A and B are shown apart, each in its own frame.
Chain A
Amino acid sequence: MANEIRFKLNGSEIVYTGNPSMRLVEYLRGEKQLTGTKIGCKQGECGACSVIMDSELVNSCLVAMGRVNGAEVTTIEGYSKTEKFAALDKAFESVSAVQCGFCIPGMVLASESLLASNPHPTEEEIREGISGNLCRCTGYNSIVKAIEIAAEEGSGLW
């Protein structure tokens, strides 16, 4: 039994003693100023709030702080320091897959989560991997292309 919430956030140990029912996304943006994690719907439908928790993609709007106990959380800010991020970033840029950019942190983390379990995905697998991440600007084709390029150019990273 525990009432103190301990977890790792972008590599740092955190001890949280606030409300365990608070949404992780509110904590990240409000208390940690990690505003790369966006809020779109708060319903688990758009993926703008995606973070990686224990190597898996999750919607941080659907995660209460108590659920984070014992977990390792990586936001786009933490991920952007990695070589894998650099490969994805370059690939997204090379096909102009970013328009307004609102969905992109989530898209990048969804790409990471996909490539981590499947380093050479088919187009269909890519579309399935980002199916919980909505983009209202690009029509997805350029994003799918970017992930294909990252998988190829970054071969060996994942």
Chain B
Amino acid sequence: MVKGIIAKSLRDALELRKDSTFVPYIGGTDLMVEADENKSYLFLHQVPEMKNIAEDEEFIRFGAACTFTEIIKNPLSPMILKQACRQIGAPAVRNMGSIGGNIGNGSAKADSALICMVTDSKLRLASADSERIVPIKDFYLGRKKLNLNPDELIIEILMPKHGLENYYHEKVGARKALAISRVSFAGIMDIKNGVIQNNATAFGAVSDVIIRLDTIDNMLIGKTIEEAKKLRGDYIQAIGDAIVPTRGRVGIEYRKDVCINLLKSFLEVSGI
């Protein structure tokens, strides 16, 4: 039996992906922790279409196989994403770990996925016969459950490039360098001429999937700062009610308190 194969082009990769016994492999920093020599990997690190970082009118497009180090170094990467990537693991993990693997592992702790969520990024998914673009929020279906067919791969991440300047990002964890975050938060507030154009928040490592409560966040959109200040209490309450931390995890109440405190800090720095 063939044990592992190296794809050299996107077409190769998608053809090979038809055989679902191959596990997609980019950096291996998740897969190799529980390495199993009997697994067959589909190595994607040499697929040129998955290594690009480019921009168009609307999006910065990150190839799924771009490493955190590459993202940090690239001038096109938005600051909010760079900041989150700088706090991932230690240098060796950032050198190998990729944004596509971070999303593909389905973890609610994934730090770059948190930024993809708060920015309402889209994923380009492809199989040998078809292609689709999915908002990242619709990609996470539940604990380790992804909206990804067995013959599909994540090819690219499309991150909206406008309105990301005013952000707030915090990762509350135990040890700085190595701890996978216990609670992480990202918020974006885009205010023009005193009116809120966009308010987006995302909470990581609290529940089965990264939490993105866009309907509640929308309460503040279209409001002036003064109006938003009046809604502040109701808004925080609504978010608090909607966050349901996963049972059985350490310190459920503690996690929820941290979430609310981070949300309050975000509102404060945004002048609300």
Contacts and interface: CB of A to CB of B under 8 A. Distances in A.
A59 B91 CA distance: 10
Contacts of B89: 44, 132
A33 interface: no
A135 interface: no
Contacts of A114: 91
Given A2-B6, A62-B28, A66-B25, A19 B91 contact: no
A139 to B, nearest CB: 16
B3 A19 contact: yes
B5 A21 contact: no
Q: Which residue, A5, A21, A22, A63, has most C-beta atoms of chain B within 10 A?
A: A21
A58 B92 contact: yes
A114 B36 CA distance: 31
B33 interface: yes
Contact of B2 (A3, A65, A110): A3
A129 B25 CA distance: 26
Interface string B1-37: 0111111100010001000000001011101110111
B193 interface: no
A21 B6 contact: no
A13 B146 CA distance: 40
Interface of B: 2-8, 12, 16, 25, 27-29, 31-33, 35-41, 43, 45-46, 69, 89-93, 95-96, 176-178
Contacts of B28: 62-64, 67
A132 B178 contact: yes
A74 interface: no
**Contact size range, A:** 35 or more
A43 B176 CA distance: 17
B3 to A, nearest CB: 5
22 contacts: A1-B7, A1-B8, A1-B16, A3-B5, A5-B6, A20-B3, A20-B4, A20-B43, A21-B41, A47-B90, A58-B96, A61-B32, A62-B35, A63-B28, A63-B32, A64-B35, A65-B4, A67-B43, A67-B45, A110-B91, A129-B91, A131-B91
Interface string A54-93: 0011110111111101100000000000000000000000
Nearest to A60: B92
A21 B3 contact: yes
Nearest to B89: A132
A43 B39 CA distance: 17
B25 A64 contact: yes
A37 interface: no
Contacts of A43: 33
Contact of A62 (B5, B12, B16, B96): B96
A66 B91 contact: no
A70 B96 contact: no
B95 A57 contact: yes
